[in-house]
Amino acid sequence: MKKPLVIASPKEMRDFARTKQAQSMRIALVPTMGFLHQGHLSLVEKAKSLADTVLVSIFVNPTQFAPNEDLDEYPRDLEGDLQKLVPYNVDAVFAPSVHNIYANHFDTYVTPEHMAQTLCGAFRPTHFRGVATIVLLLFRITLCNVAVFGRKDFQQLQIIRRMAKDLWLDVDVVGMPIVRENDGLAMSSRNAYLSPKERQAARVLNKTLDLVQSLFEKGEHLTEALLQKAKDSLGKEPLAQIDYVNIVDANTLAPITSVEEDALCALAVHVGKTRLIDNCVLSP
């Protein structure tokens, strides 16, 4: 088994994809920012089952970070990532540099509207514009027929689904379950920032979601009541500072007062300097 082919140039990536397309191959893309963990690898495995050609992109996309965020510190390890991908035998890894993508005078962005203004979008107002723009570019460069995303970033998944429909992109957007550590913490490249104490404290995110899920299953469907319990639970962890905890319609992300259809309970919490997100779906 050998390390995957790495392509940095968008033009070479598209020529590679065109060759596959000419052979009537179905192309799957797994977009990532690298520092791969089992969550990312579960998407790669799914992609393998969906297509003939599997491409993984690794790109820390600057336009989705605000100036005060962690772009410079974001963990990077291309060599380690390529090693982790060896057993999956992917067809290529697209790993462009920033100037490969945002060439001189780059001036065209995709701005998702309502769905990007709630939850994380309320705290990161330019984030989903950066995400939608890079994902559209990746779709166009890799000519993918299907793209696999994690439900860890549920809002992102729904915004990309919406974009694919709105812009007739002809890409199937597939969402996969959240992969967790043994104690329930959702895997994330940003978990690498946590000190041992913070790592312990970070368990409160999943514990809170478990609590909401169990209250919901016991019959509490009013969002205000569920959110109060969630805030109480998060409030008990001194190292955790809430950005938001909310329950919204799982498809539109619109506010709801009680859970009548699939709803998303999502939260974002700072543990020390690290901003962590997690979510669960409440299904009546």
Give the C-alpha separation, 194 to 201, whole Å. 9
Catalytic residue among 40, 105, 127, 270: 40
Under rule CB under 6 A, residue 124 binds ligand AMP: no
Under rule CB under 6 A, residue 33 binds ligand AMP: yes
The question of whether 270 is a catalytic residue gets the answer no
Nearest to 6 by CA among 84, 85, 95, 81: 95
Identify which of residues 34 and 259 has a Cβ nearer to ligand AMP in the complex. Answer: 34
Identify which of residues 131 and 247 has a Cβ nearer to ligand AMP in the complex. Answer: 131
Identify which of residues 173 and 256 has a Cβ nearer to ligand AMP in the complex. Answer: 173
Residues pairing with 277 in the sheet: 268
Give the C-alpha separation, 20 to 149, whole Å. 22
Length of the chain counted residue by residue: 284
Q: What angle is formed at CA 59 by the lines to CA 54 and CA 60, rounded to 5 degrees?
A: 150
- Contact range with ligand AMP by CB under 6 A, out of 10-18, 101-109, 171-179, 253-261: 171-179
The correct pick among 10, 39, 96, 112 for binding ligand AMP (CB under 6 A) is: 39
- Contact range with ligand AMP by CB under 6 A, out of 16-24, 65-73, 180-188, 229-237: 180-188
Per-residue burial over 118-140, b if 16 or more Cβ lie within 10 Å, else e, is bbbbeebebbbbbbbbbbbbbbe
Q: Hey, which residues are catalytic here?
A: 40
**Which residues would be at the binding site for ligand AMP (CB under 6 A)?**
32-33, 39-40, 42-43, 149-150, 152-153, 176, 178-179, 186-189
